[in-house]
Each structure stands twice: as structure tokens, then as C-alpha cells.
Amino acid sequence: MDRNLYCKNPWNCLELNNDGKCFFCNPCFSNFNLIGNIFEDSIEEIWNGERAQNFRRDVMERKYTYCNYENCNGNKTENLEYNSTIAPLPEYINIGYDYTCAQRCIICRDEHQALPPEICKKWEDALETHILPITKNVKYMFINCRGEFFDSAHTQKMYAAIIANNPNIKVDFISNGIKCTEENLKKHNLLDKIFRVHISLHAATRETYKKIFRVDKFNDVMKNIEFISSLKKSGKLEDFEIMFVITAENYKDMPKFVELAQKLDARAAFSACIGGYAEYIMNRENYAVFYQNHHNYNDFVKMLKNPIFNDRQHCFLPDYLRELKPVSLKHSIKNKIKYFARTKLNMKLEQTKDDISIFSHDTYK
């Protein structure tokens, strides 16, 4: 990966995360290097304090000490556009602390989760004094990367207040799509505000969807996705992305997923992140098909040679996945035997050094 690029995020992005922690981007990308806390520090201390300036200086020198540079999706350019470690208030804000969601997909969580009322109150109490002032210059708001907007009365309330205070904000919107209907988008004053939509779908067929989301809602989601697609096709939406976290349960859907993106005028965005505390991470030796020691690894690598993945307009596939090479037949057979012993014979296998090193790709730590 070319480290000659400059990331713009530290000059214009702010992410509000759990317990008021502030970051320049997704904390998994910036290795949890926070720049301040919205409940404890002033806006100036957060945005132009010592930690923020050190981070910017490091990016200006292209050292990327604080960054997971290879895996992050930063806004990187060839030329350095900034000549100071001091920056005006952010233009892009990411409201990323509310994990409330009525679903429990295997990638993310095993239980339904909601932000406790006392935490909601803490954020709502800080609205006038801390949140609205820092959104003064904001042009784009990302909402809500950690949970589901339509399942959270709290996030809806925060969003309404921020938009009332700064009506020109454009919204970068993420949803699981289940309640993302035309009516709900209108009801929450989103229809005219959204400029980009990401739908976490992770499947191209109803059967696969059921395995990942543990509910039978694929057809409902597809109806809502068709509506979003119509916005994109009519030019009312700048960007439309359908998201796919790769697991052993869904990887065979990947070529079909790109076909779906082509039909919808969307981009299929694939990632191999392992996060959360769900079924997926607890049993990653069964799910992480992109690791060399997975029993279906060679099949996965072969599938990635499908020419449909060369349609870069409709497909984002990280380079490190494109570059994966098959393992030897001997290695592959060994993996299949281990899988059989673990799952069919219920044997508890000792992890070898090899097994552990295959996890070095993790984006989420």
C-alpha cells in the first residue's frame, strides 16, 4: 500500500464514540487513539489540543504512527492540502456511539442491544452545550455507524436537534434496510438530506440472509433497497453502497452480490473485518474463510478470480483480498481434517502457532 498519500480526515472529520470519546475516524482504523472526550474537554481542547495536533503532524510527515493505514478507508490524496496542525471546526461528523438495534446478525451481536436510558440522557443533556457547538461548521453527518437509526428514539432526537440547528447538513446514512421505507425516510426528514446511503445486507439470496440476520426479512429489505436505487438512478442520491462482511456462510453469494449492485446502480462493498462479540468472532475459525487455515480457503480464493470482481464501478474489494494466493493441497487437506475433527467429532484442538498467526489481518482488535 502506497504510504505517499495524505489522509484528510484529521483536518475535517470527527467521530463521536462510546462514553463521549472523540476520534478522527473509526477507532478501529486509528488504533483507538482518541483526541479528547466530549463530556470532559472543551471543543478547542478536543479539536486543536495536543493530541489532535500530534496526530496531524504525524500524518503530515506520512508516518501514520496512529493509524491502521493499510486497512482504513481514509480520504487520502496525493497532495498535502493543509500546512498547519491547527484546523477549523470539522465539516464531517460521525455520530457513532448509539449501538441500539432490534436485529442480531451473526457478524455484529448475539443479543438485542439498546443504549441505556441514563446514557441517552447524558448525551441529550450535553446537546446544547457540547454537541450543537461542535456541529456549527458541519456540512456532512454520518449517522449511525454503530446501530440502527430507525430503532433508536434517542438518535432520532439528536439528529432532529442537529438538523434544526444546521439545516444545510447533508446526511451520509447507514441502515440495515429493514425499516428504511420511503415513509420512514420522509417522517424523519431524511429524504431530502441523504446524499449517500449504505445498506448492511451481507447476502444476495433469501437463504443466505436468513443465516446471517437470523430473521426472514430479505424480501422486505429488497423492496426498500429498490426504492433507494430509484433515488440513485434519478440522480437524487449521489452514492449508494450495499455492504457485505465476508463469512464462510455468505461468501458464495459474492458474485451474485456484485450483479445485484450492477442492477441497483450501487457499489458492492466487501470487507473481511472481524468485530463485535457475536457468533462470528467467538467461532472465527469456522467463519473466517479468508484465513489460510480455513477449510474452505482455497474455494474462496478460486471464487475471487471471477471476472465480475473487476467491475470496479460496482465492486469494492480490498486489495489484500484480491492478492490472496491458494495454499498447497496438503495444507488444504489438513484444514479440512481439522474442521471435521472440531465440528463432527467435537474435538478441542490446541491452537498452533500457524493458527494464531492467521489472525494477524484483523481490522478490529
- Our CB check for ligand SF4 shows the closer of 69 and 99 to be 69
Looking at the Cβ atoms of 10 and 147, the one nearer to ligand SF4 is 10
| 146/295 with CB nearer ligand SF4 | 146
The span from the CA of 261 to the CA of 3, in Å, is 30
Based on CB atoms, which residue is closest to ligand SF4, 30 or 176?
Answer: 30
Cα–Cα distance for residue pair 12/29, rounded to 1 Å: 16
The counts of H helices and E strands in the chain are 16, 12
Look up cell 455492504; give the residue: 243
- Which is nearer to ligand SF4, 338 or 361 (by Cβ)? 361
Comparison of 72 and 266: residue with beta carbon closer to ligand SF4:
72
Minimum CB separation from ligand SF4 for residue 330, in Å? 38
User: Smallest distance, Å, CB 197 to ligand SF4?
Assistant: 21
* Shortest Cβ 11–ligand SF4 spacing (Å): 10
8-state DSSP, 309: G
Grid coordinates of 272: 473481511
- Cβ-based nearer residue to ligand SF4, 54 or 230: 54
Q: How far is the CB of 317 from ligand SF4 (least distance, A)?
A: 18
State the residues that interact with ligand SF4 by CB under 6 A: 7, 9-10, 24-25, 29-30, 64, 67-69, 72, 74
Closest distance between ligand SF4 and the C-beta of residue 100, in Å? 25
Q: How many CA atoms lie within 13 A of 104 on its CB side?
A: 10
Residues 6+ apart with CB under 8 A from 145: 26, 94, 95, 96, 174
Q: How far is the CB of 272 from ligand SF4 (least distance, A)?
A: 17
3-state secondary structure of 36: strand
Residue 268: name the closest of 281, 280, 253, 247 by CA: 253
**Residue 224: cis peptide before it, omega within 30 degrees of 0:** no
| Closer Cβ to ligand SF4, 31 or 184, answer by number | 31
Cell numbers at 121, concatenated: 440522557
Q: With respect to ligand SF4, which residue has the nearer C-beta, 59 or 258?
A: 59
What is the secondary structure of 234-289 as a DSSP string? TTS-SEEEEEEE--TTTGGGHHHHHHHHHHHT-EEEEE----TTSHHHHTHHHH-T
Residue 238 CB, nearest distance to ligand SF4 (Å)? 20
Phi then psi for 306, rounded to 5 degrees?
A: -55, 125
Shortest Cβ distance from residue 32 to ligand SF4 (Å)? 11
| Sequence-ordered list of residues with C-beta below 8 angstroms from that of 342, at least 6 positions apart, any chain | 285, 286, 348, 349
| Closest CB to ligand SF4 among residues 69, 309 | 69
Of 233, 237, 255, 238, the residue nearest 246 (C-alpha): 255
b/e code 81-119 from CB counts within 10 Å (16+ = b): eeeebebebbbbbbbbbbbbbbbbbbbbbbeebbbeeeb
Type and span of the H or E element at 92: strand 92-95
Residue least distant from ligand SF4 (Cβ): 74
Give min distance, CB of 19 to ligand SF4, in A.
20
d(CA 259, CA 233): 16
CB of 128 to ligand SF4, least distance (A): 29
